[in-house]
Homo-oligomer: A and B are copies of this chain.
Amino acid sequence: MKEIIKISDLKNHLFDGMSIMVGGFMAIGTPELLIDEIVRLNVKDITIICNDAGLADLGVGKLIANGQVKKLIASHIGLNPEAGRLMSEGLMECVLVPQGTLAEQIRAGGAGLGGFLTPTGLGTIVEKGKKIIAVNKKDFILELPLRADLALLYGTTVDKYGNTNFTKTTRNFNPVMATATDLVIVQARKMVDRIDPDNVMTPHIFVDYIVKEEE
């Protein structure tokens, strides 16, 4: 049985300057309740790792709008003009990463790999400052793993053991982020007795705490 905590318990796991991976793609599959609580607690100088910057009033966009984000690592911020403004004014550091590289960096962080070679970004500014390694006379960029202190996931179905599934396109970065942080907290849309063992997307061993949406 996995421990179910109250949203107010979230504060015990937060600290200024921490790094947080947040599941979701344009805020689809993002745990909004957990984000709201971090806004309320006003934790400062956060590094956010997320596919994108959310929208102005959705997803990690709420943390950005509230001035809590010191650094954003994402593949896209185009739907959040406030993120663009803070970035161009130098008020938020923003590292833009190709989406596939971002997913793979997080995977490497969770899978104990020291890095991987990708052709994506060769000959572009993405390769700047990175090691180029040739394999069979073909060049690749060496990209390094990413990890964070905390992952906030949005599980659409969570069983009492903590096994977690993400329906339809809410899945996106959620399962891979579950593997790459010291602590994993899942916002559960729906709790069930048991997920079919063949179809578990995130095994319970990755999940530390569950916050139920109904409460």
Contacts and interface: CB of A to CB of B under 8 A. Distances in A.
Nearest to A117: B114
B118 A168 contact: no
Contacts of A114: 116-119, 133, 135, 138, 140
Contacts of A67: none
How many chain A residues sit at the interface, stated as a range, is: 20 to 34
B144 A115 contact: no
Interface string A154-165: 000000000001
A198 interface: yes
A198 B165 contact: yes
A199 to B, nearest CB: 5
Interface of A: 104, 108, 111-119, 133, 135, 138, 140, 142, 144, 165, 167-168, 196-199
Contacts of A167: 198
A105 to B, nearest CB: 12
Given A165-B198, A168-B198, A198-B165, A135 B115 contact: yes
Contacts of A142: 117, 133
Contact of A113 (B118, B144, B197): B118
B115 A117 contact: yes
Contacts of A119: 112, 114
Contacts of A140: 113-115
A133 B135 CA distance: 13
Contact of A116 (B117, B138, B165, B198): B117
A52 to B, nearest CB: 22
A80 to B, nearest CB: 28
Contact of A108 (B116, B133, B138): B116
A18 to B, nearest CB: 20
A203 to B, nearest CB: 13
Contacts of A112: 118-119
